[in-house]
Structure 1
Amino acid sequence: MNRIPAFALVPALLLAGCVKNAPPVASVPDSPVTALKNLPEPEASDVVRSTRLAFVGPFTELRVEVFGVPDMQRDIMTDGKGNFAFPLVGSIAAAGKTPADVSEEIRQKLAGRYIRDPQVTVNFKASSNPLSIQSMSVTVDGQVNKAGAYPVVGRVTLMRAVALAGGTNEFAKLEDVVVFRDVGNQKYVGIYNLEAIRRGNYPDPEIFPNDVVVVGDSPARRRFKDILAVVPALLSPVILLAREF
């Protein structure tokens, strides 16, 4: 996934979260940018109209069907942790999984032991409350070890979102972590200093479904690694002045 340039989101509201009372920074001169103390939380309509993959969450209504087995065609509802019980299968931990993932898990547990070649389908019930479905994921990109989309189950903060992506890699610029968020018809951009959050300088912000988190790149760290790569080939010691990256 390519990093989204901030200027593509202008006009936007920019949260300067790197340091306290930091001035807003715009990618386009004279662009209409307003500094906010916090990124606003998404509205219910933002959740419902999401086009991302839908994930099972707590209190989600599902229709489970095993073809040719009437007793295994039933409606179920997950509990507060996103789990449910199914005949011959036992407990299924469905939270954070797609219906396709759940159907495959049930198929594997039935195959061979109870049914030779089970055909299992799992779908959200039409009557299911859209807000009970963890219908969106958070996308984590940039200098992390496992960039990708991760289901949001329960409360997820910025540090947890980065941890889901395997943490930052050696080239990460921790003071340049950007969060993109759509609320209503407005686009918001928040800039955070992950290192400062880790030190407890300010609270770890909450991340919501559909947010895109991009961890910045430190060119200085890449240059430093290039220098270290040639050091073993030298015959005399090399003293490097280490600067803040």
Structure 2
Amino acid sequence: MKLISAMVFLMILLPVVAGAEDVLGDLQPQEKSASIPDDRRNGGTPMDDFAVAQTPDQPDSRTYEYRIGPLDLIEVEVFQAEELSRETRVNTEGYASLPLIGPVKVAGLTAREAERRIEKVLQEKYLQDPHVTVFIKEYESQKITVEGWVKNPGVFPLKGKTTFLQAIANAKGMDRLADFDEVAIFRTENGKTTGYILSYRKVRAGQQIDPVLQNGDIIVVNRSGSKAAWKLFSETLTSFVGWSVLF
């Protein structure tokens, strides 16, 4: 019965994990890698793909700024030029369509950088000393997923610097039946998904790093007492080409 339950859990989670994007560079798997048996380290199995992370470099919270992406809704205001102001959605190629000047590439820019770029275009064509303000009204290009034993699981937009604890708070907190000591985070890089385990208790106590999340991250909160299911889950993942699971 435990085997069937674990496989059902795997079938539910895999489609979600497959949609993850980007790199898990700011999480530390602590000492989990030390528990990998020697025969798996040197036996030519998929476990050979383990990449033991070192202490990660955390982004400076004082300089972190959200970067505009496709489908984000932005509002552009040009001081004393209402006819040039507009609310517009960034298209799939990263351009915002603006009055008179047409499409301007804003994807990958912070709001401040987008302001400077639009000011430059306006100055070249229409205004002597333009002053532009850009507001991000809808955050659609960057999302994370929180699944499992939280009070409000779902997909949440990244509206700026968001940490693991903030993501759990966005999901209304941990369910009383959740495993507070083993929470999984998945991120995919170049087709390879890496899993990390964090202790919610230790992160809250400041004993473990509270990692900054990135677009596509998937947080999975297991039920308390299901460690055997996690072991089976991690071992099953290694049978897929390109998977590296740090449990």
TM superposition score normalised by structure 2 = 0.48
TM superposition score normalised by structure 1 = 0.49
Q: With CA pairs under 8 Å and 6+ residues apart, which has the higher RCO, 1 or 2? A: 2
